[in-house]
Amino acid sequence: MRRERLGFGFALAVLSLWCSMEVAVEAAWSLQTPVKLVWHYYKVHNTCDYAEAYIRHQVESFYKYDKTIAPKLLRLLYADCFVNGCDASVLLDGPNSEKTAPQNRGLAGFAFIDKIKTVLEARCPGVVSCADILNLATRDAVHLAGAPSYPVYTGRRDGMTSTKDSVDLPSPSISWEASLAYFRSRGLDVLDMTTLLGAHSMGRTHCSFIVDRLYNFNDTGKPDPSMKASLLEEMRKLCPPKTKKGQPDPLIFLNPASGSKYSFINSYYSRVLTNEAVLGVDQQLLYNEDTKQITEEFAAGFEDFRRSFALSMSRMGNINVLTGKEGEIRKNCRFPNKK
C-alpha cells in the first residue's frame, strides 16, 4: 500500500507497526502537518511522569468488569475529534452541549473518564488534559479488546465551549461519496475512512439508526436492496417499524460475530463483502473501487487491518488539537475552569 509522505517524525514511531500491502491506494502514512503534539509529553516536560501508566492502570481495572468501555470510548473519541477537533468538548455538560445533539444519542463512557481525571488530579493536579485522557484511555481500552497499542502523541489542551449546533456528525445511512467528503474535510483520506469504519467491528447501535434500511430505504417504502435477506429478517425481528411516539428503541450489535465479547476482529469486513453490514455507511464500502479493494484486503488479513488502524487512530487524534496557550487544562472534564 502506498502512502504519500507527509513527514518523517511520526513515521519513525510507527514504522515497526507498518508493512507492505498489495492495495495501491494513495494515502498518508504520518500525522497531518504541522505536528504540534509530543511523544510522552508529560514525561518530557517532567510534569506528570507516570500519567500514561496511571491511565492504563485505570483502564485495565475497569475492563475486567466492563468490556463495553472499548466501543464506548471509541465512539466518544470519534464524536469529539470529528466536531471541533480533539479538545474534549464532547465531555462538557450543559443544556445545549454537544452531548445533547441527536447524533450523540446513546453516547457513553463519561463516568469512566471522570474517574481517571479524579485519579490524575490527585497525583498531578492541573496538568493532564481531558483531551489527552480520552485519547490515551481509548487506545488502552481497544488494545485490551484486540487492537494494536498504537502511539498516542500528547500535549493536547481542552476546549472551553460545547454546543449541540456544532455537531455535524453525518447519518450512518449516507453514501460512500458523502462519507469520504466528510473524512477529507477533517484531513483524513480514503484509507483512514475505510479503516476507522472498522471500529464497527464491535459495539452496539440503536435501531433508530438503521430502521430506514429495514422499512423505507431512500423513501421507497421498501428495504435496502443491498441487505442480505437473512440479515434483513434478523434485524426486523429486533427492530420493529416505528409507529408511535415514545416507542422503545432497542440496541443491536453492530457485528454479531463480536457480539457481547466486544472483541476487535476483522469479520466486519467479511460481513461487508457478503452484504451483511448493519449500518448503511458500512455497506457502502462495496461501491467504490478503492474502498472495496481495501475491504477485501482487510477481510483477508487481520494484521493489515490492525496496522492501518494504528496509524489512522493516531491521525484522527491529531485533528485540530489545541496546544501551547490555547484552551485550558480542565480540573473537571465536565465543566470549564472558573475564571
Domain boundaries, the chain: 41-203+254-317
pLDDT over 90 (residue 262): no
Indicate the burial class of 280 (C-beta count within 10 angstroms; 0-12, 13-18, 19 or more). buried
pLDDT at 100 over 50: yes
75 is catalytic: yes
With a cut of 70, say whether residue 18 has pLDDT above it: no
260's torsion region: left (phi>0), alpha (psi -120 to 50) or beta? alpha
Reported CATH class of domain 41-203+254-317: mainly alpha
Name the β-bridge partners of 28.
Answer: 4
With 90 as the cut, is the pLDDT of residue 244 above it? no
For residue 58, name the pLDDT band (cuts at 50, 70, 90).
Answer: very high
Binding site per annotation, positions for Ca(2+): 80, 83, 85, 87, 89, 98
Known binding site: residues?
80, 83, 85, 87, 89, 98, 170, 200
CA dist 60 and 55 (Å) reads 9
pLDDT at 246 (0 to 100): 80
pLDDT tens digit string along 163-173?
A: 999 999 999 99
**How do 27-28 and 3-4 pair as beta strands?**
parallel
Mean pLDDT computed over 15-25: 44
> CB neighbours of 34 closer than 8 A, spacing ≥ 6?
none
**Which one is catalytic: 3, 56, 75, 307?**
75
Q: How many CB atoms neighbour CB 250 within 10 A?
A: 12
Chain mean pLDDT for the chain: 89
Whether the predicted pLDDT of 3 surpasses 80: no
Write down the pLDDT at residue 26: 60
Annotated binding site for heme b: 200
pLDDT in tens, 283-303: 999 999 999 999 999 999 889
Q: What is the DSSP letter of 151?
A: -
Q: What is the pLDDT of residues 234-243, one digit of tens each?
A: 999 999 998 7
